[in-house]
Amino acid sequence: MNPGRLEKQIRFLVEADKLKDIYRRSFLVNGSRKENDAEHSWHFALCALVLREYADEPDLDLLTVLKMALVHDLVEIYAGDTYIYDAAGRETQAAREREAADRLFPMLPREQAEEFRRLWMEFEEKRTKEARFAGAIDRLQPLLLNYFSGGESWREHGVNAEQVFEITSRISEGSMTLWEYARGLIREAVDGGILPG
């Protein structure tokens, strides 16, 4: 074994700890505080594990989906979380995240750096069935938090049903069943007065 190799891997894993301090806009279900990217990544992976039967392309590789869940937000350690309803932030997001990837992934040994970058790009581009299902789960999970925490994040940011509908419609690219379910939740949120119609 090359001892420098393990040292590099450990330094990367210690740097990755910073994902626990990147906060998102969604609240935990109990409403006590906002969720961070590390928790989201775990919950995303757990949702994928439980809900994989609803993928429209059923022969997908679950291992690849789980790897994407673990890796997809790492660039936010340097680029920060960009709120999905922040149009200005989203214009610069791609460039900021590419710079972050150029800084973060090369901490790993070369072939692992390439694998992590490939997983991140695959998730971003949504050209594979694994990425489409992962993308669906990545939109469903915050919808669950926002709905079951009573809509606090929607209120805080003045978001309405049309915006939620548009953003979560990405779910339909990976799972029509989950998209049907999500549409039902949005309707219930409007009917229940926790999301402006």
- Which residues form the interface with a copy of itself (CB under 8 A)? 1, 6, 9-10, 12-14, 16-21, 28-30, 32, 35-36, 38-39, 41-43, 45-47, 49-51, 54, 62-63, 66-67, 70-71, 108, 112, 144-145, 148, 177, 181
Residue number with CB closer to a copy of itself (20 or 90): 20
**Least distance CB 52 / a copy of itself (angstroms):** 10
**Least distance CB 82 / a copy of itself (angstroms):** 20
Residue number with CB closer to a copy of itself (94 or 121): 121
What are the Cα distances from residue 15, in Å, to 9, 11, 12, 132? Answer: 10, 6, 5, 28
User: How many alpha carbons fall within 13 Å on the CB side of residue 157?
Assistant: 18
Residue number with CB closer to a copy of itself (7 or 156): 7
The C-alpha atoms of residue 24 and residue 28 are separated, in whole angstroms, by 10
**Least distance CB 65 / a copy of itself (angstroms):** 10
**Least distance CB 87 / a copy of itself (angstroms):** 29
Cβ-Cβ contacts under 8 Å for 25 (sequence gap 6 or more): 34, 81, 83, 84, 142, 153, 156, 157
The C-alpha atoms of residue 173 and residue 123 are separated, in whole angstroms, by 13
The C-alpha atoms of residue 111 and residue 105 are separated, in whole angstroms, by 10
**Least distance CB 44 / a copy of itself (angstroms):** 9
Residue number with CB closer to a copy of itself (50 or 95): 50
Maximum CA extent, the chain: 61
Residue number with CB closer to a copy of itself (21 or 162): 21
- The three-state secondary structure class of 19 is helix
